[in-house]
Structure 1
Amino acid sequence: MTKFIKIQLAVLILVAYSFCADLSTAQKSKLHPLFQMALTGQNSQQKKVSDNKVLATSFSALKNEIVYDAIIYTDAVSKLKDMGITVNSVYPEFVTAQVTLNELKQLSSLDCVRYIDPGSKNYPQLEVSVPEIGASLLHAGFINNTQYKGNGVIVLIYDTGIDWKHLDFRKSDTTKSRILCIWDQSLTAMGGENPPAGFSYGVEYTQTQIENELDGTPAGFVRERDYNGHGTHVAGIAAGNGQSYNNKYVGVAPEADIIVVKGSDGSFTENRMIDGLTYAANKASFYGKPIVVNWSIGGHTGPHDGTKGYEKAINSFVKTAGRAVCVSAGNSGGDNIHISGSVSSSLADSVLFIVPSYTPNSGSGNDYFIIDIWTRDADQIAATLISPTNLTWNLPPNTLIDGVSSNDGTVTAYNYIMSVNGKREIYVWIEDSNPAYPPKAGTWKIRLTKSLGGTTNFDGWLTESDLGGYAGSLVNGNTDKTVCMPGTADSAITVGAYVTKRFWPSYAGGTYYYPDNTENDIAPFSSIGPTADGRLKPEISAPGAVIASALSQDADTTGTYPFVLHGRRHCIMQGTSMASPHVAGICALLLQANPNSNAIQIRDFLTSTANVDSYTGSVPNYIWGYGKADVLEAMAKNISSSAVVSRSILSYDGTGSDSYVVLDKNHKYALRFTPTSSGKLTGFQLRTYHQAIRWLSGNGPLKCEVYTDNGGFPGTQIGSTVYHSFSLLTPSTNNYIQMLDANVEVSAGTDYHIVLSQTNPNDSLAIMVEYAITGGERSSYYNGIQWDHQTIYNLRIRPIVTTVSGMVYVDDGSTSSAIKSFRLSQNY
């Protein structure tokens, strides 16, 4: 994971002052400082357009010039349209639009326009996964004798696009797609292509056009591609059906309809994210279905208090029943990018940033750091920037520094009260506009002073930093308040990430792992709350580390072979980007059961049923929210408010040394377990050994049975035999084996045995054990003649007992159409 993923709007470097010389003070007060710079430095700005570190722009064929994405705060939509302004989305407080520089100037003179904001840029926030959250049992019809797989619900993924050819997003007839439509915002329409109705940019592809591509009649029309791969992976977690590789990697809502909005290949403007919500609302109305939007993207440029435009858009969007928006919390939980302090007339404060010694990147505009400071009121605060060689730039209230060059770097900064929330923003960006003078190594200081009044508190964020591949560091920085926007929106369901798996096998051989991850604990990268105004975020946590999902065929995998899995159609990624689509899939399942639920009700189901353990500690808290998402219990509560669900994972192995035993011939291995509560044995975890040895041989399947206890050994079989396909097993990890079809009820305090054997005596399987223990009596081995206790090791097998009460009907396994072989094992 990149130390500091780019998560904010890059500022223009501007030095000319012709275009805007006649702007009045009133006009300037309505223009964000970046737009002021665009107008004052028009000529140099055009040069910077190609540098991809500027305001969001595109070429308008209609206007025959460059247009700028803008969020215009106004109530007079019709007046803007009468002026010829290209309006895309309309919300209660603002509209999104694409405007020329001249239109920008005209808008700033209108009484009906309160403010014009360019918005921020946002970036991707890169498995007991599906079984862990309880979705596997819902897929199999465990609750209400209904298979909940997201049928009749739309999941919209706003991201880097999708590999629409991937089999995980097709129907059983593989010439048919589950994707209803794709809006590629990054394309300019060519012959026969058009933007979606009501929008002025991008290209929309319909399901018919996608299916024409799939069956080749005609091919070559749909140009959308996911070159990054992030969007395809996210979509697979939320809604992939796994059919591209033995039905092995299945998402949370595998029968949901899919809509994709491609924002770009890697950075996303706030304006276009808002347009994506408008598109979602339009499509939900058109298809007459509930919809869940997933944003696995975010940024740190802004106040972190829920007042940004796209955060207000979320609040407006979810006021309609049958809609929810899930947002990743961010990946800054391990980075000290936040700082807070206070300043008064008698006490100055400073933000210190250390630039290490480094070798600058080649070229210009690619060595930089950006610090964004927000006060908690509108008091008059002055700033002074001091470089390591004591060069000084003064930044009094209501001023900007527009690309001033020096031997220590180029400085762009501003100090203004922002219209979005009435609070002061002090923004500083130092870069190598001249490659001969990159940001100077040493300590940079932003000194804050206040001449009058009481005390003013502030928060600041290191929003972006790349100094020859290094990040630099905030002195006294911390990880508090690192949840990204728009995850700080009031009505967003904001998702943190925890670890369900450490190891994975590469298709090229070898087993890999993240050494900093601890199973069942919070992911070390997961961002931490609260919001700047003190609200709880994230609300919920979900699996987000070492997650297997769909791999885009258009993504460049050069040098990344360790992350590509067997079959080469899926790969490993981690981040809160992977946690959020788990919860988006959960929302789809809940909306299948109750299409009229609103976002607040769904969030309440999630938070009131979240799992708590020794890792989460007392909840709610700013790391976990209310705990670990549990869709099984949330669904039960959704159907019947009196329902009570508990799932117990019985673990008898510990943290001792790993070794393995081989299950082969007519031998058997058994684990004796003692339920702590009565219920159904719904499954168990089986940890297999590394692929460095011949861990699996033969065709299978694995034979899984449950026995009574007879003096510490297996006695009589109860229930039915479950056969688990070898193709669903993966080395080096916990494989989930579902046991619903065994139809075994167990009683608290009574001993039972899970017994494993081979259907074919020529097959073999290496099972991981905790080795060199003393006094072990729960693992036993059958050598073809008799059972013996294995006292020096514990089998790494963990039974799962599920209890549901207060429900009108729970499937007993005898009449269910549940699949015999569980298909979600590899997201464990």
Structure 2
Amino acid sequence: MAAGNGRASDGLYTGVAPDADLVIVKFTTEGAAAHDGEPAEAPFYNPALLPAALDFVDAMATAEGKPVVILANFGSVGGPMDGTSTIARVIDERFGAGIPGRVFLTGSSDDGGVDNHAGGTVTQGETAEIRIRKGHAGALRLNLWYPASDRFTVEVVSPNGAVTGPYAPPANGARASGSGSGFVYYHNGDGVDFFGAASATREILIDFSGAAGTFTVRLTGTSVADGRFDASLNPSTLYSRPDNVFETYAEAGYTVWDAAAARDNLPVNSYVLQPTWTDVDGATQTYPGNDVGMGELWPGSGVGPTYDGRLGIAVSAPGQGNITPYAPRSIFATARYSVIRDGDAPYGVLGFVSGAAPVVTGIVALLLDADPTLDAAQVRAALEQTARTDAFTGVVPNTQWGYGKVDAYAATALVRGGTADEPDARSGGLSLTTAPNPAHGGTTVTLTLDAPSSASVTLSDLLGRRVGVLHEGPLGAGAHRIAADLSGLPAGVYLVRVEAGGAVVARTVTVVR
């Protein structure tokens, strides 16, 4: 979807950036059963290999003299999820702001829509009872984080009523462990957690096993300066183990996975493009959560905020119902419910956030083709400034949609610079033009409203910094010409953004000197 040339479908299913080159690194796999003469493949994931994978791709791009966007299309909740883990810092070091032509993208996660996050505050001497329903036999992991300034004593009540503990909190820099009926327990002081977090934080990790049942984890505040805790359960998604949930202290949101919480990642999630499809056998198929309808956020999308309180999402992209090529010998090509075109060149449906992230990856490739010097911060700003809003997104930015629905045309136009022969930018009951464009000393913004409304017209640079307010206040129906003085601005591309009547429209203007 990001860069397919469409040849196997005679151009019907072409990727977003079909002229882009591809470098594919196999970093992880969920595993695959033996099929059609192909041997079984065991699952593997080793985050310690990520720096080598990133450096390999970077070296390839450098050798070719080209910019690069990397898509890491995997990830699930767990870890500090605050941008300070080892993996998050690796991403920021190699693809951070100020590094031209290098962008990293991983989607938020597929862990939304289930009570798999717990959060709350424990006060001095108080006990919080976190009840966990383990709905399936097998493994379930609790990963809980709290400030290094605090100390929590821990007890675990197993489904058979056995109480294990209390476990005293270890000192910072130390680790405590234990086990009981159906679980193994670790409590890590600051500096020795399993994810290499650079924030001042402590970690409790409990691996539950065995039959289904309800566990209770008791946290008692023995020394509390802050008291806040955040915890995740894994696996717990709409499509896999949805009845592994927190029964107490459940909080919505906080499902942006650890790598996606990197400060210079481009975090995206998924909305529904088409709720159903017809498979190769003529049957109507759908994915869990698609019943929210076309245009709505897929409820399994990971959403913000991050554990440290940042928005968590940049933009949302169409991900539910996209069509992508399947490798003929892959396990995906055997899933006839998702295959829509069979034979030597099969095509099928790709959904979830993994279906949305390649769309944005292709758009980023187009932006880097337009300007290879853009860095991660500039690319993110271009996508956020030009994102669309509608009745589904509501007022943006927000932790569900970020800045709205990604708009490939508007983002590439922003980077390339607007031209006078482009069509009017239009959204809802308003339209916008700028002329002259490019401009030297000034330009005229023509705003047309279908109905009277309060309107805000602003001018921002490519990094989202507001450089001017052109109008604030009521306007009547019809066309309005607003003069924009550009004489004090340096040469570059700027964004005229209008909000009126619940709609948002944006247009680029290029300042020349």
Compute the TM-score of the two structures, normalised by the length of structure 2.
Answer: 0.74
Cα deviation for residue 378 of structure 1 reads 3.1
Structure 1 residue identity aligned to 2:206: V
With over 3 angstroms needed to count, the CA separation of the structure-2 counterparts of 1:558 and 1:552, relative to structure 1, is closer
Return the match for 2:229 from 450, 458, 463.
Answer: 458
Is residue 281 of structure 1 aligned with residue 58 of structure 2? yes
Residues 549 and 572 in structure 1, CA contact (< 8 A), matched pair in contact too: yes
Return the match for 1:346 from 122, 125, 138.
Answer: 125
With over 3 angstroms needed to count, the CA separation of the structure-2 counterparts of 1:649 and 1:504, relative to structure 1, is farther
With over 3 angstroms needed to count, the CA separation of the structure-2 counterparts of 1:425 and 1:603, relative to structure 1, is same
For the residue of structure 2 that corresponds to 1:565, the secondary structure is strand
**Cα distance in 2, alignment partners of residues 465 and 335 from structure 1:** 7
Q: Which residue number in structure 2 is paired with residue 504 of structure 1?
A: 277
Cα deviation for residue 529 of structure 1 reads 0.2
Cα deviation for residue 346 of structure 1 reads 2.9
With over 3 angstroms needed to count, the CA separation of the structure-2 counterparts of 1:287 and 1:536, relative to structure 1, is same
Cα deviation for residue 444 of structure 1 reads 1.1
**Cα distance in 2, alignment partners of residues 298 and 328 from structure 1:** 8
Residues 387 and 445 in structure 1, CA contact (< 8 A), matched pair in contact too: yes
C-alpha deviations, 1:261-299, integer Å up to 9, x for none?
001322432211222111122222211110100011113
Residues 122 and 220 in structure 2, CA contact (< 8 A), matched pair in contact too: yes
Return the match for 1:445 from 216, 221, 228.
Answer: 216
Is residue 603 of structure 1 aligned with residue 380 of structure 2? yes
With over 3 angstroms needed to count, the CA separation of the structure-2 counterparts of 1:353 and 1:286, relative to structure 1, is same
Percentage of matched positions with identical amino acids: 28
Residues 329 and 538 in structure 1, CA contact (< 8 A), matched pair in contact too: yes
Is residue 400 of structure 1 aligned with residue 165 of structure 2? no
Structure 2 residue identity aligned to 1:511: T
With over 3 angstroms needed to count, the CA separation of the structure-2 counterparts of 1:442 and 1:805, relative to structure 1, is closer
Q: Which residue number in structure 2 is paired with residue 416 of structure 1?
A: 189
Q: Which residue number in structure 1 is paired with residue 203 of structure 2?
A: 425
In the alignment, structure 1 segments of 5+ residues that lack a partner are 1-236, 361-366, 432-437, 651-674, 680-746, 750-801, 809-828
Q: Which residue number in structure 2 is paired with residue 371 of structure 1?
A: 142
C-alpha deviations, 1:600-656, integer Å up to 9, x for none?
111110000100111100000000000011121111111227989765589xxxxxx
**Cα distance in 2, alignment partners of residues 804 and 353 from structure 1:** 50
For the residue of structure 2 that corresponds to 1:411, the secondary structure is strand
**Cα distance in 2, alignment partners of residues 409 and 616 from structure 1:** 43
Residues 119-268 of structure 1 aligned to structure 2 (within 5 Å): 237-266=1-30, 267-268=44-45
Residues 73 and 106 in structure 2, CA contact (< 8 A), matched pair in contact too: yes
Residues 73 and 357 in structure 2, CA contact (< 8 A), matched pair in contact too: yes
**Cα distance in 2, alignment partners of residues 554 and 295 from structure 1:** 22
Q: Which residue number in structure 2 is paired with residue 329 of structure 1?
A: 108
**Cα distance in 1, alignment partners of residues 267 and 332 from structure 2:** 30
Structure 1 residue identity aligned to 2:5: N
Residues 455-604 of structure 1 aligned to structure 2 (within 5 Å): 455-464=226-235, 471-476=243-248, 477-514=250-287, 515-557=290-332, 560-568=335-343, 569-604=346-381
With over 3 angstroms needed to count, the CA separation of the structure-2 counterparts of 1:415 and 1:310, relative to structure 1, is closer
C-alpha deviations, 1:125-184, integer Å up to 9, x for none?
xxxxxxxxxxxxxxxxxxxxxxxxxxxxxxxxxxxxxxxxxxxxxxxxxxxxxxxxxxxx
Return the match for 2:403 from 626, 631, 652.
Answer: 626
C-alpha deviations, 1:569-610, integer Å up to 9, x for none?
111121111111111111110111111111111111000010
Is residue 308 of structure 1 aligned with residue 74 of structure 2? no
Structure 1 residue identity aligned to 2:25: V
In the alignment, structure 2 segments of 5+ residues that lack a partner are 31-43, 434-447, 451-504
**Cα distance in 2, alignment partners of residues 478 and 457 from structure 1:** 13
Structure 2 residue identity aligned to 1:294: L
**Cα distance in 2, alignment partners of residues 537 and 310 from structure 1:** 16
Cα deviation for residue 344 of structure 1 reads 2.2
**Cα distance in 1, alignment partners of residues 332 and 377 from structure 2:** 40
Structure 2 residue identity aligned to 1:396: A
C-alpha deviations, 1:180-222, integer Å up to 9, x for none?
xxxxxxxxxxxxxxxxxxxxxxxxxxxxxxxxxxxxxxxxxxx
Structure 2 residue identity aligned to 1:344: T
Residues 491 and 599 in structure 1, CA contact (< 8 A), matched pair in contact too: yes
For the residue of structure 2 that corresponds to 1:381, the secondary structure is strand
With over 3 angstroms needed to count, the CA separation of the structure-2 counterparts of 1:559 and 1:581, relative to structure 1, is closer
For the residue of structure 2 that corresponds to 1:590, the secondary structure is helix
C-alpha deviations, 1:527-581, integer Å up to 9, x for none?
1101101011111111110111010112235872121012441111211111111
**Cα distance in 2, alignment partners of residues 252 and 558 from structure 1:** 22
Residues 8-19 of structure 1 aligned to structure 2 (within 5 Å): none
Residues 529 and 538 in structure 1, CA contact (< 8 A), matched pair in contact too: yes
Residues 646 and 803 in structure 1, CA contact (< 8 A), matched pair in contact too: no
With over 3 angstroms needed to count, the CA separation of the structure-2 counterparts of 1:348 and 1:646, relative to structure 1, is farther
**Cα distance in 1, alignment partners of residues 126 and 449 from structure 2:** 64
Structure 2 residue identity aligned to 1:458: F
Residues 645 and 803 in structure 1, CA contact (< 8 A), matched pair in contact too: no
For the residue of structure 1 that corresponds to 2:2, the secondary structure is helix
Cα deviation for residue 411 of structure 1 reads 2.3
With over 3 angstroms needed to count, the CA separation of the structure-2 counterparts of 1:243 and 1:641, relative to structure 1, is closer
Compute the TM-score of the two structures, normalised by the length of structure 1.
Answer: 0.47
With over 3 angstroms needed to count, the CA separation of the structure-2 counterparts of 1:261 and 1:646, relative to structure 1, is farther
Cα deviation for residue 391 of structure 1 reads 3.0
Structure 1 residue identity aligned to 2:247: V
With over 3 angstroms needed to count, the CA separation of the structure-2 counterparts of 1:345 and 1:478, relative to structure 1, is closer
Cα deviation for residue 376 of structure 1 reads 2.9
Cα deviation for residue 446 of structure 1 reads 1.1
Is residue 390 of structure 1 aligned with residue 162 of structure 2? yes
Say which is worse superposed, 390-399 or 495-504, in terms of deviation: 390-399
Residues 602-751 of structure 1 aligned to structure 2 (within 5 Å): 602-640=379-417
With over 3 angstroms needed to count, the CA separation of the structure-2 counterparts of 1:646 and 1:317, relative to structure 1, is farther
Cα deviation for residue 676 of structure 1 reads 7.2
C-alpha deviations, 1:464-503, integer Å up to 9, x for none?
369x967432113233101112110100000011111123
With over 3 angstroms needed to count, the CA separation of the structure-2 counterparts of 1:355 and 1:453, relative to structure 1, is closer
Residues 645 and 804 in structure 1, CA contact (< 8 A), matched pair in contact too: no
